[in-house]
Amino acid sequence: LKEVREGASRFFVPEAERIYDAPVFYNPVMAINRDISVLAVDVLKPSRVLDALSATGVRGLRYLLETPAGEVWMNDIKEEAFRLILRNVELNGGKIVKSSNERVVFDISGKKAIVSKGDANRLMAEKFRYFDFIDLDPFGAPVEFLDTALRAVKRRGFLGVTATDTGVLCGAYRNACLRKYLAVPIRGELCHEAGLRILIGLVARYAAKYDLGVKVLLAYYRDHYFRVFLGLKSGARKADESLSNIGYLWQDKSGKFWYSREFLPSESNAYGPLWLGELKDDDFMNSLLKKSQEVVLASNKTLEFIRLLSDELDVPFHYDTHAIARRHGLEVRKLAVIMEKLEKMGYRVTRTHFSPTSIKTDAPFDAVLDALRGL
């Protein structure tokens, strides 16, 4: 074991040549994911938090030490992980209050930390409408935990969901996407945004059966994973409202794409169903940005990334200038030049976190093509 620091926490992680060989998983690259999650929990102020797939406990510990959350559960199915989380809670000053083979309750400066061993689905099934915020950070797809999470979270609670099976959501394994996400993925330059929207669309459909609507607070793609923060809205009408944001995407050989909010597509070759609503909430983003300038973050990339997300125009899909240039045999032009051209034509245009060669704009495809041609 070696001791590492992240945010306000100290903790032991197993030493291993490659992170996936370690008996308990810890990926330092995900510090940005955890930074943003800590900021989100800080802004949303949930009192009971569940880190359902906790591994070393780093995420839950950071929620305890860096946010106002009063009760944080850290759960893992693996014996080694359970024992390591116990050590890590003690390392951060946790004092045992109550203990059994599968559950240990700690006090950390007046807050409650509960370390639990077992299947996350079993724990969530047991804790019906108990948590204000549930974090799902699994290996691969989160789909097997969604149903229980939607039952264990309060009807006005929040969910943070990570998916690392980008290959599936981006269309490398079409049938796997059909099986897990009940959606047809697209390949090519739109795959990451479409993948993110497929994930949100699935959560919205799962939530709807409990008469729960979803509001996307922030959804993004980075370092080969997707991350979504959702606020739940109680009521059948709210569920109907969120389902009205589900639809389909089409794209032709020229790169032109179009989408439509309809539950069953009338044209074939459609991709989806996927979420066509917003990928962020302005109030939430403003608070997140403000907080991120006040606190000490673990990664020096977090702030810049949150700025990029905040500035991004929130319209469905984006134009990849390199891909369009390639499709039309055009020379690649500087992004800044293309953006200026579109602005002069009266359109709104920003960069996007989905790709450094892409823009988000309310301009139609032909206007973008004109700007690329230098017209």
Residues that bind ligand SAM (CB under 6 A): 25-26, 30, 34, 53-56, 58-59, 75-78, 81, 119-120, 137-139
- Closest contact distance (angstroms) between CB of 138 and ligand SAM is 5
Of 130 and 319, which CB lies nearer to ligand SAM in the complex structure?
A: 130
Nearer to ligand SAM, 61 or 196 (CB): 61
Of 81 and 270, which CB lies nearer to ligand SAM in the complex structure? Answer: 81
Minimum CB–partner distance for residue 162 and ligand SAM (Å): 8
Q: What is the four-CA torsion angle of 234, 238, 240, 245, rounded to 10 degrees?
A: -120
Min dist. Cβ of residue 97 to ligand SAM (A)? 23
Q: Whole-angstrom Cα distance, residue 361 to residue 318?
A: 7
Shortest distance, position 76 Cβ to ligand SAM, whole Å: 5
Residue with smaller CB distance to ligand SAM, 132 or 135: 135
State which residue, 79 or 283, has the beta carbon closest to ligand SAM. 79
Between residues 76 and 189, which has the closer beta carbon with respect to ligand SAM?
76
Least distance (Å) from ligand SAM to the CB of residue 80? 8
**Cβ(288)–Cβ(36) below 8 Å:** yes
- Residue 34 or 353 having the CB closest to ligand SAM: 34
User: Which residue reads 């032009």 in tokens?
Assistant: 333
Residue 189 Cβ vs ligand SAM, minimum distance, rounded to whole Å: 28
Count other C-beta atoms under 10 Å from residue 356's C-beta: 10
Beta bridge partner(s), residue 260: 248
Cβ of residue 13: shortest distance to ligand SAM, in angstroms? 9
